[in-house]
C-alpha cells in the first residue's frame, strides 16, 4: 500500500499532482461553444479542491462514478483566489490499494474527549425527567455510535466525520455560558435542548463515503425526525411531565429560527431563542473557519466568493488558524443579567 504523497491542504499553485482522491462531486457540463468538460470536487481527509477535465471529458466521465477513489495526473492552478486542478489523466482506484482513512475528513478535535464532554453535561442535568430522557439516549449503543460519527450538515458547516458531535458540544458550551449570564433561564431544559436539537441528523444523512441525504432526510428532515425520536423515548418514561415535553419539542422544532430556514415554528420561549442563536452562531463560525482554511492561495487576503454567505471573507492574519478551543470557566465577575431589577 503506497503512502499518500500529497494532501489537499498542501497543494500549491504550479504543483504537478499525481495522487489519489475521493470524487466527492462529479458533473458533466458544456462550455459556451458546446464543448463537454467535467467539474469535479476532489477530497481527502484534509479538505476539498476543485478539479476540471477539459479534454476527452466524455471518455473520462465513463471511467468512474461519484464516490469512487480516482488517481489523477494534474497541474495545480490559481483561479479566483483558490486552487484548481487541471486534470490530464485519471483512473479508478480500488479501496484495497489505499489507506481509506486518508480520504474521509474527520473533526480535528479528539472525538473521545468531545464525547466525554457531552456525557459530562448529561450528568449535570438534575431535573429527573430530563435526566432520564438524556440517559435513555446515551445508553442506546446503536444511537450513540451514529451520533459520534455523523456529520452536522451536507455542505455548510461541520461537514466531516464527528461534525455533529463537535457542533453539539460547542453549542452546549455556549448555552452553558448563556445560562450563567441571564436570569430566568431553565438551565436543565436549555442543556437538554442543546444536546438533542440536532439528534435527528444521525438519520438525516448517509455518510459511508460521501455525505448525502437519506430518503427520510429528504422527505421528513432532521427537525421532525428529532421530535419523533424524543417522543419515542418519552413514551417509555413513566409520568414524564407533558409541559416539559412540550417545551423540549418546541426547542427542537424552532431551532432554525424562521420558517424560511425549515423551522415549522419560530422561537417563543427564552430557552428556544437562545438555542436558536447559539446553534446559528456555531454553524456560521465553523463555516467561516473552514472557508478560510480552504482558501490556501497566499497571494490574496480574501477567500473566493462564498455563495451561501453572499460575500468574500477576509482571511487577515493567516496565523489565526482556528484550533479546537480549550474550555475555560469564566470568572464570576458579575451576577446574571435580566429579570427584575437589572
Q: What is the set of domains in the chain, with CATH numbers? A: 8-103 (2.40.50.140), 111-294 (1.10.3210)
Mean pLDDT of 128-141: 97
Angle ∠(207,42,171) on CA atoms, nearest 5: 45
Q: What is the pLDDT of residue 145?
A: 94
* 331, pLDDT greater than 50: no
Lowest model confidence (mean pLDDT) among 13-17, 193-197, 231-235, 325-329 = 325-329
Lowest model confidence (mean pLDDT) among 33-37, 188-192, 232-236, 335-339 = 335-339
| C-alpha span between 131 and 125 (Å, rounded) | 6
Mean pLDDT of 41-70: 92
Lowest model confidence (mean pLDDT) among 43-52, 114-123, 216-225, 330-339 = 330-339
Q: Which helix (H) or strand (E) holds 222?
A: helix 222-235
Using a 10 angstrom Cβ sphere, with 0-12 exposed, 13-18 middle and 19 or more buried, the burial of residue 78 is middle
How far is the CA of 231 from the CAs of 122, 134, 220, 242, 243, in angstroms?
A: 18, 12, 16, 11, 13
Mean pLDDT of 77-85: 87
Lowest model confidence (mean pLDDT) among 118-127, 292-301, 308-317, 331-340 = 331-340
Number of neighbouring beta carbons within 10 Å of residue 214:
14
* 36, pLDDT greater than 80: yes
The residue with greater pLDDT, 170 or 294, is: 170
Nearest to 334 by CA among 124, 190, 183: 183
The residue with greater pLDDT, 328 or 154, is: 154
Lowest model confidence (mean pLDDT) among 187-191, 290-294, 328-332 = 328-332
What does the DSSP assignment read for 76-102?
A: EEEETTEEEEEEEEEEEE-GGGS-GGG
Cell of 165: 458531535
| C-alpha span between 342 and 330 (Å, rounded) | 21
What are the tens digits of pLDDT across the range 202-245? Answer: 999 888 778 888 999 999 999 999 999 999 999 999 999 999 99
Amino acid at each position: 500500500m503506497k503512502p499518500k504523497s500529497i494532501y489537499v491542504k498542501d497543494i500549491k499553485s504550479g504543483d504537478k499532482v499525481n495522487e489519489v482522491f475521493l470524487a466527492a462531486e462529479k458533473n458533466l457540463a458544456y462550455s459556451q461553444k458546446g464543448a463537454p468538460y467535467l467539474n469535479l470536487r476532489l477530497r481527502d481527509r484534509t479538505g476539498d479542491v476543485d478539479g476540471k477535465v477539459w479534454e476527452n471529458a466524455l471518455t473520462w466521465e465513463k471511467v468512474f462514478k461519484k464516490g469512487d477513489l480516482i488517481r489523477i495526473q494534474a497541474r495545480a492552478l490559481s483561479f479566483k483566489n483558490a486552487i484548481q486542478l487541471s486534470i490530464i489523466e485519471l483512473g479508478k482506484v480500488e479501496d484495497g490499494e489505499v489507506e481509506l482513512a486518508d480520504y474521509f475528513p474527520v473533526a480535528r478535535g479528539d472525538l473521545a474527549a468531545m464525547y466525554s464532554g457531552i456525557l459530562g453535561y448529561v450528568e449535570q442535568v438534575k431535573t429527573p425527567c430530563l435526566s432520564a430522557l438524556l440517559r435513555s439516549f446515551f445508553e442506546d449503543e446503536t444511537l450513540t455510535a451514529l451520533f459520534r460519527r455523523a456529520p452536522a450538515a451536507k455542505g455548510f458547516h461541520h461537514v466531516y466525520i464527528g461534525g455533529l458531535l463537535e457542533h453539539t458540544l460547542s453549542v452546549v458550551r455556549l448555552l452553558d455560558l448563556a445560562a450563567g449570564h441571564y436570569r430566568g433561564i431553565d438551565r436543565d431544559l436549555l442543556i437538554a435542548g442543546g444536546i438533542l436539537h440536532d439528534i435527528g441528523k444521525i438519520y438525516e444523512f448517509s455518510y459511508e463515503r460521501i455525505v448525502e441525504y437519506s430518503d427520510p432526510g429528504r422527505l421528513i428532515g432532521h427537525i421532525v425526525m428529532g421530535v419523533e425520536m424524543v417522543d419515542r423515548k418519552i413514551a417509555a418514561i413513566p409520568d414524564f411531565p407533558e409541559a416539559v415535553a412540550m417545551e423540549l419539542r418546541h426547542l427542537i422544532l424552532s431551532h432554525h429560527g424562521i420558517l424560511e430556514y425549515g423551522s415549522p415554528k419560530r422561537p417563543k420561549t427564552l430557552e428556544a431563542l437562545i438555542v436558536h442563536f447559539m446553534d446559528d452562531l456555531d454553524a456560521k463560525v465553523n463555516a467561516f473557519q473552514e472557508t478560510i482554511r480552504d482558501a490556501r492561495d497566499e497571494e490574496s487576503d480574501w477567500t473566493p466568493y462564498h455563495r451561501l454567505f453572499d460575500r468574500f471573507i477576509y482571511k487577515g492574519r493567516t496565523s489565526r488558524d482556528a484550533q479546537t478551543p480549550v474550555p475555560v470557566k469564566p470568572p464570576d465577575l458579575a451576577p446574571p443579567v435580566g429579570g427584575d431589577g437589572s
